[in-house]
Every structure is written in C-alpha cells, then in structure tokens.
Structure 1
C-alpha cells in the first residue's frame, strides 16, 4: 500500500508541475487549481505513505519519480531540450533511486 501511495503522490506532483507550467504562462483559475491541487494531493499522499514506509526511502523515491516524470513530460509535451547530458542525468536519477530502494 505504501508504494502505491508514493506512486500516486509522484503522479500528483507531476500534475502539479504541469499546472505550474500552465499557470506561469496564463493566470487562470483552472491552471491555479491544477497547480495547487496537484502539489497538495501529492503532499497528502506522501504523508500517508509514511504509515507504511520509512520516511527517508519514501521521500527519495517520491522526489526521484517526480523529478524524472516532470522532466520527461516537459521534454515530450513542451519541447524542452533533450540533449545527451540531460538524458544521462535522468538515467542517473533512476539508477540512484532504484539502487537506494534495492538496499533499503
């Protein structure tokens, strides 16, 4: 249950990042609610995951998935740079998070 909560929290964080992107471009109520709602739900789900998982592991996995997800979404949907260094950095984050989870 804890990992499901972390995964849902990460997805909500990505939604919050998308809302932030839209809100920074055009100040609408819908974009503001997407931004605040995404991050708010993300924090609530992450907090709930602490009942099942160690805080340090849940937090790092949440940050890793959210970071990689936000970068990938921005590359795919918003035309951000997909240079070699950026791709290598994404892979390094994935390896680091997977390694941390494997030994915890």
Structure 2
C-alpha cells in the first residue's frame, strides 16, 4: 500500500508543477488552489509512504516520478523539445525508479 501511495504522491507532484506554470504570481486563484491542493496531497502521501519505505528511497522515487511526469506533460502539452536523447534519459530515470522499487 505504501508504494501505491508513493506513486500517487508522485503523480500529484506532476499536478503541482503543472499548476505552478499557471499561478501567475499566485494571482490566478483557480490554479493557485490546484497548486496548493496538489502540493499538500503530494507531500502528505510522501510523508505517509516514508513511514514504511526508507526516506531516501521514497524521496528518490517520488522525485523521479514527478520529474519524468513533468517532462512528459511539458513535451505533450507545452511544446517542450523532444528527441531520442531526451527519451533515453527519461528511460534511465524510469529504470532507476524501478531499480529502487526492486531493492526497497
């Protein structure tokens, strides 16, 4: 269950980084609320998962999910660059996350 919650927390990290793009100095209330809810849920789920999973492992997995997800959202919706090298580097991060899961 802790791993599921950690993954969910990582997905909420993607939510708060995406919302952060639109908060406009925290003047856009709807996006600011989305950011605050997402960051609260993300951090809360990380904290809860880290009660079972070692903190270093939990943080690395949580951050990796957030990083990969944010890059994918950027490429898919915001015109960020794509390319073979970028895709390979994303796969390296995913492999590292999977490796941490298998050793944790």
Q: CA deviation at 1:33?
A: 1.0
Structure 2: how far apart are the matches of 1:40 and 1:50?
15
Structure 1: how far apart are the matches of 2:46 and 2:63?
10
The answer for the alignment partner of 1:3 in structure 2 is: 3
Normalised by the length of structure 1, the TM-score is: 0.89
Query: Where does structure 1 lack aligned partners over 5 or more consecutive residues?
Result: none
The 5 A counterparts of 1:73-84 are: 73-84=73-84
Q: CA deviation at 1:26?
A: 8.5
Deviations 1:14-63 (A, max 9, x none): 11011101224883100111112211210011001122211111111111
Normalised by the length of structure 2, the TM-score is: 0.89
The answer for the alignment partner of 2:71 in structure 1 is: 71
Pairwise CA RMSD of aligned residues?
A: 1.7
Q: Does 1:91 align with 2:91?
A: yes
Query: Where does structure 2 lack aligned partners over 5 or more consecutive residues?
Result: none
Structure 2: how far apart are the matches of 1:13 and 1:96?
18
Quick check: 67-76 or 52-61, which moved more? 52-61
The 5 A counterparts of 1:26-41 are: 27-41=27-41
Quick check: 59-68 or 33-42, which moved more? 33-42
Determine helix, strand or coil for the equivalent of 1:27.
coil
